[in-house]
């Protein structure tokens, strides 16, 4: 009887050892699988974190105000055929006041009796309290606020020129802050100052947006 009991106990020990040896590689495989899945998730999250949410092209030509080239720490960009510039650098050159409200993500530009309010990511702009629609909204890039250069220059009454050979943009300050009296610019004045909730893309940018260097 004792021999039988001893054999049974020995058999149980051998079986238990076999289960332990088998379980270790299975546990190792399971842990490796978890680590691999976690690593892949982190890689996906990291890629999403650094992938640009807004796609645009860098504007590589020069921007000048009253004959003086503006040096940008973050260069202008081209999005959907429009040139957007870091607003503060250019507006300071034009003598305009720029204010930023972090609570509402609103940037306010004031020059003379004209006030323009942009909200980041919004296609609606307020010009002297009147609502205007844009096809390319203001946006934040590298902690700088970018706005469409042609729209803001013409609303402030400045003259903007584009060099077709070099791609350079020249803004000339108009002391009287008036938009020249031609058919397109008259339409801009009426849309901006007379009517609300109107899209003025064609009037503001002109009909030659592609020819004039995507601005």
| pLDDT for position 180 | 42
CA angle 199, 204, 207 (to 5 degrees): 100
Q: Are residues 14 and 110 in the same domain?
A: no
Burial 91-117 (b: 16+ CB within 10 A, else e): bebbebebeeeeeeebbebebeebbbb
Instruction: Tell me the percentage of the chain whose pLDDT exceeds 90.
Output: 13
Residues 127, 139 contacting (CB under 8 angstroms): no
Q: Are residues 153 and 199 in the same domain?
A: yes
Confidence of residue 111 (pLDDT cuts 50, 70, 90): very high
| pLDDT for position 129 | 93
In a domain, 110, yes or no: yes
Q: Are residues 31 and 101 in the same domain?
A: no
Q: Are residues 167 and 126 in the same domain?
A: yes
Q: How large is the average pLDDT for residues 141-159?
A: 88
Q: Are residues 66 and 38 in the same domain?
A: no
In a domain, 215, yes or no: no
In a domain, 197, yes or no: yes
Q: In the predicted model, what is the mean pLDDT of the chain? A: 69
In a domain, 46, yes or no: yes
Q: Are residues 44 and 74 in the same domain?
A: no
In a domain, 102, yes or no: yes
The CATH number covering residue 77 comes to: 3.30.457.10
| pLDDT for position 89 | 85
Task: Show the domain range for 101.
Answer: 57-205
Q: Are residues 38 and 112 in the same domain?
A: no
Q: Are residues 76 and 147 in the same domain?
A: yes
Boundary of a domain, candidates 17, 32, 51: 51
Please check the confidence at residue 56 and state whether its pLDDT lies above 80: no
In a domain, 210, yes or no: no
Q: Are residues 66 and 170 in the same domain?
A: yes
Q: Are residues 45 and 17 in the same domain?
A: yes
- The pLDDT tens digits for 20-40 are 544 455 555 555 454 454 444
Tokens encoding 145: 């606020």
Q: Are residues 68 and 37 in the same domain?
A: no
Q: Are residues 77 and 21 in the same domain?
A: no
DSSP string, 85-125: EEHHHHHHHTT-EEEEETTTTEEEEEETTEEEEEETT-SEE
Q: How many domains does the chain fold into?
A: 2
């Amino acid at each position: 009887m004792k021999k039988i009991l001893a054999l049974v106990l020995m058999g149980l020990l051998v079986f238990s050892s076999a289960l332990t040896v088998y379980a270790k590689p299975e546990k190792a495989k399971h842990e490796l699988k978890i680590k691999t899945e976690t690593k892949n998730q982190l890689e996906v999250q990291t890629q999403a974190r650094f992938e640009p949410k807004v796609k645009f092209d860098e504007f590589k030509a020069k921007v000048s105000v009253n004959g003086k080239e503006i040096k940008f720490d973050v260069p202008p960009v081209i999005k959907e055929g429009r040139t957007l510039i870091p607003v503060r650098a250019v507006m300071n050159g034009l003598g305009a006041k720029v204010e930023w409200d972090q609570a509402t993500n609103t940037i306010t530009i004031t020059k003379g009796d004209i006030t323009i309010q942009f909200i980041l990511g919004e296609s609606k702009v307020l010009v002297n309290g009147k609502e205007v629609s844009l096809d390319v909204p203001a946006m934040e890039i590298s902690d700088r606020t970018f706005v469409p250069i042609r729209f803001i220059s013409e609303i402030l009454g400045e003259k903007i020129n584009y060099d077709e050979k070099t791609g350079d943009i020249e803004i000339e300050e108009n002391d009287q802050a008036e938009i020249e009296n031609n058919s397109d610019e008259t339409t801009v004045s009426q849309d901006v100052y007379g009517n609300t909730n109107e899209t003025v893309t064609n009037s503001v940018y002109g009909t030659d947006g592609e020819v004039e260097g995507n601005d």
